[in-house]
Chain A
Amino acid sequence: MNSHHDAEFTEYMSARMPSLRRLARLLCQDWSLADDLLQAAMTKTYVHWSRASAADNTDAYVRTILVREFVQERRTGWARLVTPASRPIETAAAEADHEGALDLRAAVAALPPRRRAVLVLRYFCDLNVDQTAQALGCTPGTVKSQTAKALESLRRSVGPGYDSALPCRPVRLASSGEPREEAGNA
């Protein structure tokens, strides 16, 4: 890697950092894990930067690395120690959220990694089936089935007769009859 590549890589990553962090957070449902994921994906991107910078859509290329790193890491159960930041880690401000949406968010967080990734790519990144399949390295049929299974799982998790988890809706109870606790980070 020469200095030009380094500068190009640094400029790109610095500009894309906020959006990539948000995407990683949607996948991981946790800021600390998201930063870990992004750090690992960024390293891989550097290794393949020649290819990434020459791609028709560098953003899509990097997104693919990020998503595949997420699925791969969660599947194999690798563990890496976090890289300490130069300053203390601060937790995100408490979300102004609603209990109904919390149910859905908790249900999403409980999905297996591939299904979670499919939902993020399709309903946040607004990718179509083919684009999602390319990002995940699977077939369009797999994307469709994973989407269907994920939605079915979510409907089961948030309770029968699901209407909508958005504001002004009643709190949904878990199957045990107890109010569902929020999952994820503080």
Chain B
Amino acid sequence: MLEDDIREVYQRMNDMDLPPSRVSVPAARTRGRVRLRWRRASAVGAPAFAASAVAVIALAGTLLTGSAKPAQAPGRHAPSRFSSLRPYAWFENLTRRQVVDVEELNPAQEVLLAYPRSALANSGGLLVVRPAGACHVRAGELRCSNAGPAAVYISGRLGQRAGIVDGSPAYWRQSASGGLLRWQYAPGAWAALSDGTLREALQESTQIRFGPKVAPPVRFPFRLTGVPASWRVGWVTGYWGNGVLYDTWAIITTGRTAVSPAALPPTDIGPAPVLAAFPLPLCGGVTRKLAGRTVALCDSYHGAPHILMTSLGRVRPSSPVTLQIRVGANPAIGLVDLFEHHLRLFGPNPEHWTTLPIG
């Protein structure tokens, strides 16, 4: 009977030797405590952010209308709303119509983005947020570890003192192409906002909020399975156009290798020319089917051995997903085959990327 055969199949599978486990009881305890704190904080309506809970950024839509709250004058420091917060081990980082970098994932390796509810007028600013401990100040210079593609923005000389952002001293560095405003959004955790003028940057910075429930989070709809433990997502970049997340770019590092900055991200150029502007010409044009999508493969990118897989398809509604795998000087054998076998693409509907709550 079929039922007996099913039992037999299950029993055979059950009798197999167990492979090494990736399940961690301590990690379950840690994440469980985070959830318990979140639930308690939500239950009492505490405005303060519970340690290790989700950190989100939202840019409200009144930046350029003049109604934004003016930055506080230097001098007496007003207490930060978040001065009592413990630095985040991970965070959410999002700006609309701007490229953001999410780096240094939390221990549970979750990547979350917060999508701001309100619209932001055409702003060319770039926001980079780093977690606590990733940056240190030395001799007037901000040095950030493993800064990835956004290194040019977040690291470097702090520049002059330029007011207060959310109770923390802010620093402005002017360059020919614009300027960079940097401040600590939580003790030991830095944010950098590039903009045309200091005034614009200060206006924008007052609208950047950190804390729970500021904006609904977005999950990246992909997962890595069956890859070596040393592989990790180095950073993720999201591209928004007209309020829609239309592309994601994840760089998976195969170890603690330095990665050269990727091509500068495009500003909001709308959905139509996205594929043309995307760095597809760097690929050799070899395509392969992967999880139902046509992907292009490259074996060289920025002069280093790479495998660049980018899905070709409609920008809307099925947004393309790009994975750039940088393998360093010693590429693993059969990387493409390994990813073909183990890569899973979940949640192909971009609508789900913006609405699902955190776990």
Contacts and interface: CB of A to CB of B under 8 A. Distances in A.
Interface in A66-84: 76-84
Interface in B316-359: 341-342, 344, 346-349, 352, 356, 359
B14 A81 contact: no
Nearest to A154: B2
Q: Which interface residue of B23, B24, B27, B349 has the most chain A CB atoms within 10 A? A: B23
A7 to B, nearest CB: 10
Q: Which interface residue of A44, A80, A91 has the most chain B CB atoms within 10 A? A: A80
A168 interface: no
A88 B14 contact: no
A136 interface: no
A105 B35 contact: no
Contacts of A133: none
A7 B69 CA distance: 50
Q: Which interface residue of B24, B26, B35, B225 has the most chain A CB atoms within 10 A? A: B225
Q: Chain A interface: which size bin?
A: 35 or more
A28 B158 CA distance: 50
A166 B8 contact: yes
Q: Chain B interface: which size bin?
A: 35 or more
Contacts of B28: 13, 39, 42-43, 45-46
A83 B16 contact: no
A54 interface: no
Interface string A2-41: 0000100110011001100110011000111101101110
Interface of B: 2-3, 5-14, 16-29, 31-33, 35-36, 39, 105, 107-111, 219-233, 341-342, 344, 346-349, 352, 356, 359
Interface of A: 1, 6, 9-10, 13-14, 17-18, 21-22, 25-26, 30-33, 35-36, 38-40, 42-47, 49, 76-93, 95, 97, 101, 104-105, 108, 119-120, 123-124, 151, 154-155, 162, 164-166, 185-186
27 contacts: A1-B32, A1-B36, A9-B25, A13-B25, A26-B14, A31-B226, A35-B21, A35-B22, A39-B27, A40-B359, A47-B32, A79-B219, A81-B105, A81-B111, A83-B22, A83-B109, A84-B230, A88-B230, A89-B22, A89-B228, A90-B19, A101-B5, A123-B7, A123-B10, A124-B11, A124-B14, A155-B2
